[in-house]
Structure 1
Amino acid sequence: MPDVRTVCLDPEEFKEFKLVKRTQLSYNVAKFKFALPTPASVLGLPIGQHMSCRGKDQNGDDVVKPYTPTTLDSDLGYFELVIKMYPQGRMSHHFREMQEGDYLAVKGPKGRFKYQPGQVRAFGMLAGGTGITPMFQVARAILENPKDKTDIHLIYANVAYEDILLKEELDELTSRYPNRMSVYYVLNQPPEGWDGGVGFISKEMIQVHCPAPAEDIKILRCGPPPMNKAMAAHLQALGYISEMQFQF
């Protein structure tokens, strides 16, 4: 357990953290690195949980949205958010305007996901778009813990190739842990010569790429609401009971 005094998040009060580095990853995605008060500070966010970020929208009104960092508590002194900025998004506006040296108000942790190493034999993960962030965080925590032997089977859906968030990081995890983690990418508008999945995540894809229903597995879901609904229906039809599923 981290020393309580060095944990930075407060579930009741917003705290401000300074943006020290902003890296544009694509035309509408950027990575934001925020400093914690000291180089030894930890954010204090349990695996798979999120935090509330507060900003100002286009009209100058307060807006609060949940985000999951891509970093873990083992990353001391800072945390990172990978943010996709939507043209009409209220919080997207705030992140678009943020410059290095600005502060972000954050509160947390929040979320129902509780993880203990060895809780399940394997996770199946169904992610869409920015829904990859909690999956990435859980996968990293599992794979970087030498005592945790859980396997990870991720299906990650996006519209186009350039929409795939954290692709480099995901591919690095699969190359470092080839026997522990697999990723199957699905694109609605694939480029020519694409060898991954095409369209939306189907029942057949889940059958091929995820662990079969069993008491010692869990399927995690995170994506836009229509996708979450479709995935819940697919899983039910395939025999995954509610105890075998979790939606972020």
Structure 2
Amino acid sequence: MSQSLFQKLTAFIQTPLGLSVALGGGFILVFYFLLQTKHHRREPVLSPDAWREFPIVEKIKISPNTALYRFGLPDPEDNLGLPAGQHITIAAEIDGKDIVRNYTPTTGNDDLGHFDLVVKTYEKGNVSRYLSLLKIGDKGQFRYSPELAAEFGLIAGGTGITPMLQVVRYSLFNPGDPTKFSLIYANVNEEDILLKTELDYLVAMFPYRFKVYYVLNNPPAGWKGGVGFVSKEHIAEYLPGPGPEAKILVCGPPPMVTAMKGHLDALKYPAPRTVSKVDDPVFIF
């Protein structure tokens, strides 16, 4: 992307909630590399060989440093068509440097007319830069299907919840899918728990198929969840044990992922590969 084009992507828009986002008059550019799937209800929204523009229609602050960005699709009946477990690769040229980040939409193919990204803003970063140019690529190795396992154990930290929620939603709302999910979700403070309202709603709607155990480094008074870091004991108590009918998914900051690998090894789960494959008993996003 040329510098002149990047400069054009700096006009501010006013969202319905009164929040400004620097995204080129409210548009993002995306490039689609995914093959068509049976989940498309209409012709593919994104082209494999052309850039497309999508308007940003809403920005919702969901924690002190995290926001949900909603992008509109061309028609109210369109969906993104992204297979469960896949992510979006955001690439942009900023100040002469290529910036690449991966994000998993929190919406599924049953969400029509839009797709959502939950993005955390870091102290030395500028999220509006990273959202200025999106490339959607089928780079993820995990693609969910009901035949993968009878039960999943999920370990997430921070924004690592997004691929977990995508898979869980896809499964729970499929009437023919009996798969069960147990999630350990770790954060620093209570206000850092992303998408908690939706997670708790899914637990209430599907109590026999979905359970969540929250862990906080700094819990408030009266906290009933886990305290500190996710431990070997947490995994042993709240997730399915190693076996042919269970699969473990892990997504979070690198130090957390490293610690989880150690805990899983101590509990006799199979060791994950350097690059996880969909059939692996332990899959690292």
Q: With the length of structure 1 as denominator, give the TM-score of the two structures.
A: 0.89
**In 2 relative to 1, CA 2–137 (structure 1 residues): closer, same or farther, beyond 3 Å?**
closer
User: Quick check: 1:125–1:154 contact (8 Å CA) kept in 2?
Assistant: yes
Aligned residue in 2 for 1:192: 221
User: Quick check: 1:12–1:107 contact (8 Å CA) kept in 2?
Assistant: no
Q: Which amino acid aligns with 2:124?
A: Q
Cα distance, 1:26 vs structure 2: 2.6
Aligned residue in 1 for 2:33: none
Of all paired residues, the percent bearing the same amino acid is: 50
**In 2 relative to 1, CA 38–109 (structure 1 residues): closer, same or farther, beyond 3 Å?**
farther
Q: Which amino acid aligns with 2:118?
A: V
**In 2 relative to 1, CA 205–223 (structure 1 residues): closer, same or farther, beyond 3 Å?**
same
Q: Which amino acid aligns with 1:30?
A: A
Q: Indicate yes or no: 2:61 matched with 1:24.
A: yes
Aligned residue in 2 for 1:94: 129
Cα distance, 1:77 vs structure 2: 1.8
> Matched residues in 2 for 1:9 and 1:143: separation?
27
Q: With the length of structure 2 as denominator, give the TM-score of the two structures.
A: 0.78
> Matched residues in 1 for 2:67 and 2:233: separation?
33
Aligned residue in 2 for 1:6: 43
Higher RCO, 1 or 2 (CA under 8 Å, sep at least 6)?
A: 1
**In 2 relative to 1, CA 239–152 (structure 1 residues): closer, same or farther, beyond 3 Å?**
same
Q: Indicate yes or no: 2:188 matched with 1:156.
A: no
User: Quick check: 2:88–2:134 contact (8 Å CA) kept in 1?
Assistant: no
Q: Indicate yes or no: 2:96 matched with 1:63.
A: no
Q: Secondary structure at the match of 2:262?
A: helix
For this pair of structures, how many residues does the alignment match?
Answer: 240
**In 2 relative to 1, CA 200–3 (structure 1 residues): closer, same or farther, beyond 3 Å?**
closer
> Matched residues in 1 for 2:150 and 2:217: separation?
31
Cα distance, 1:110 vs structure 2: 2.5
> Matched residues in 2 for 1:11 and 1:139: separation?
28
Q: Indicate yes or no: 2:173 matched with 1:144.
A: yes
> Matched residues in 2 for 1:133 and 1:3: separation?
21
Q: Which amino acid aligns with 2:247?
A: K
Q: Which residues of 2 match residues 114-153 of structure 1 at below 5 A?
A: 114-153=143-182
Q: Indicate yes or no: 2:110 matched with 1:81.
A: no
Stretch deviating more after TM superposition (170-179 or 34-43): 34-43
> Matched residues in 2 for 1:218 and 1:11: separation?
33
Which structure 1 segments of 5+ residues have no match?
Answer: none
> Matched residues in 2 for 1:108 and 1:196: separation?
37
Q: Which amino acid aligns with 2:249?
A: L
User: Quick check: 1:11–1:107 contact (8 Å CA) kept in 2?
Assistant: no
**In 2 relative to 1, CA 86–93 (structure 1 residues): closer, same or farther, beyond 3 Å?**
farther
Stretch deviating more after TM superposition (109-118 or 198-207): 109-118
> Matched residues in 1 for 2:226 and 2:160: separation?
18
Cα distance, 1:11 vs structure 2: 6.1
Give the root-mean-square deviation of aligned CA atoms. Answer: 2.0
> Matched residues in 1 for 2:101 and 2:48: separation?
14
Q: Secondary structure at the match of 2:175?
A: coil
Q: Secondary structure at the match of 1:110?
A: coil
- In proportion to residue count, which structure has more helix? 1
> Matched residues in 2 for 1:10 and 1:223: separation?
31
User: Cα deviation per residue 1:16-66 (whole Å; 9 max; x = unaligned)?
Assistant: 321011112232111111011222222121101101123465x47442211
User: Quick check: 2:41–2:78 contact (8 Å CA) kept in 1?
Assistant: no
Compare CA radii of gyration and give the structure with the larger one.
Answer: 2
> Matched residues in 1 for 2:186 and 2:214: separation?
6
